[in-house]
Amino acid sequence: MNINSKNAWVYSLKNESTTKYIHHFFCTCGHSFTQKTAINQSFAPDISCPQCQNSTFVDTDEFKQGQLLEDSIQIQYGIKLFENQTLWGADIYIDFPVYFQKNKVVLQSKKLLHIHMYKSIDYTHFRAYKLVYYPYVSSTYGFKIWTKQSKLDLAAINALSSFIMKHKNKTIAWINNEDLSDISSSKKLLCLHYFIKKSHLKEFNFYYWDMVLLQNYTKEYNSELKMLDFIVNHRKEKSVKRAFYTSYKNAIKCKYYNPHSDFVFARTIDDPNILEKLLSLELKVKQSLFTDANYLEGMALLKFLKEHYTEKQIAKLFVQELSLYKKKRQYWEDILRMIQKDNAFSELEQYFFKHKLTVENLHDEIIRVLHIAEFSSWNNSVFHYEKSLLMTQGKYDDMIFKLPVSAYELSLWSKLLHNCMFAYAENIERGSSIIFAVFKKEKLCYALELSEGKIMQAKAVSNQSIPQEDMKRIRAWYQKYLTYLP
């Protein structure tokens, strides 16, 4: 049975009895007709619909094979929306010509994509929503519809998010269209899913908070004001609260709030005047200092530094150095990586030597302390490599590539490059990482970490980026000698 199509199609079929071609036309006006052509003319004739005079038809074979169509031809898809007790859903389909029997061609509705989102936290698990593709329009013939699936995805997401907003359940009934107006189309379902999973939260600004571990506290502090009071450690000083809330309002205007720096500073800095300065740091600086992955270690580091320095000296690290010099933030990121090492703070307690507090000095002192601990644990262990790997050492272009002979040599390289390369001794011994030092004119310039068959890291002094031209030569060396690595 024929059905009206959103697209005008032509389906060409060879008549086995006459060996001529029959072209089946399906117009958007609902009219269908056929046209025969000569034996050697398999392509459809240039013809118009007798009823509406439309002359633009999509060739079924070209569409099946993924050939590019003219820009003037826009494929139209249908969307069916639905809901039941457990989910909201949408199906994207297309009315497509298929061979039926005895040279008969009919239009059939074929599903291309399905999307759904569950209504309850019991079903949400890890994914906000699920997309299911149906790439084959006909399992009998097994041809694939070549479509821009990303375009279909977006159409389905847009349609489903609009549908959900019209059919909200109790959990998200408080969300209105104005709340979603600033959310990009591709993220609206993620936003709705967030509040389905966090059903105890009823204020939209929480969607802009970037946190995982701290999210657990929202069950106790389930309003925006309560949670903010918790982040700032229930501090009562007016200057502190004014600086904190002003900074927060500016963050919300930018649709992004990372609470970890505020959380750390409010729990480690006692002097309200110093805390006010730290809470008032430029947003893009403050919100990059600590993350969900390192804020606990960062808080422990500041408490450790307070045993050796004043709060004013500690604040200078952030106010005068990290705020003004982007390069120094690389040192800071490296510091936070190093102190995540097991027993890092017990080793600092044992070996730390007080220098003038700067980001570079702190970075180098932590390296020195961890070197001592690492070196003593390895007892100058000698590394062993396969012969094929040893053969990759030597000169390439103007560079010399060298493997570390021992933990001691690795430790020396780490000191020269001001990085935490020494911490890879155990990985080298296990064979999970390969470290190469790169020399130019007999001077150690770069370090490479190879793992999983690729260059995982390539850094210069203090974890700075390697110049582009030198990086090209390093990649060329890798392609020549080391692409065989598993």
Q: Domain boundaries in the chain? A: 9-64, 78-197, 215-377, 387-481
175 versus 74: the higher-pLDDT residue is 175
- The CA distance from 352 to 325, in Å, is 26
Q: State the amino acid at position 443 in one-letter form.
A: K
73 versus 43: the higher-pLDDT residue is 43
Q: Mean of the pLDDT values across residues 429-451?
A: 91
Cα 288 to Cα 145, 282, 354, distances in angstroms? 45, 10, 26
* Helix (H), strand (E) at residue 454: strand 454-459
- The CA distance from 80 to 156, in Å, is 10
- The CA distance from 448 to 425, in Å, is 14
Contact of 39 with 5, CB cutoff 8 Å:
no
- The CA distance from 162 to 339, in Å, is 47
pLDDT at 268 over 90: yes
pLDDT at 308 over 90: yes
Q: Which of 211-225, 276-290, 346-360 has the lowest mean pLDDT?
A: 346-360
Query: In which band, very low, low, confident or very high, does the pLDDT at 138 lie, cut at 50, 70 and 90?
Result: very low
Model confidence over 214-231: pLDDT tens digits? 999 999 999 999 999 999
100 versus 71: the higher-pLDDT residue is 100
Query: In which band, very low, low, confident or very high, does the pLDDT at 151 lie, cut at 50, 70 and 90?
Result: confident
- The CA distance from 26 to 8, in Å, is 5
Model confidence over 374-402: pLDDT tens digits? 666 665 678 889 888 888 888 998 999 99
- The CA distance from 310 to 195, in Å, is 43
Average predicted confidence (pLDDT) for the chain? 85
Q: State the amino acid at position 315 in one-letter form.
A: A
Q: What confidence score (pLDDT) does residue 142 get?
A: 37
Q: Mean of the pLDDT values across residues 201-221?
A: 95
Q: Mean of the pLDDT values across residues 400-419?
A: 87
Q: Mean of the pLDDT values across residues 99-105?
A: 75
Q: 420 φ, ψ to 5°?
A: -105, 30
- The CA distance from 288 to 443, in Å, is 34
Strand pairing report for 399-402 and 394-396 = antiparallel
CB half-sphere exposure, 83, CA atoms < 13 A: 17
Give 419's contacts (C-beta < 8 A, 6+ positions apart). 334, 367, 447, 459, 461, 462, 463
Question: N- to C-terminal Cα distance for the chain?
Answer: 57
Q: What confidence score (pLDDT) does residue 133 get?
A: 72
Cβ burial, residue 141 (10 Å; 0-12/13-18/19+)? exposed
Question: Which two tokens mark 415?
Answer: 């000191």
Q: 301 φ, ψ to 5°?
A: -65, -45
Q: How many Å is the maximal CA-CA distance in the chain?
A: 97
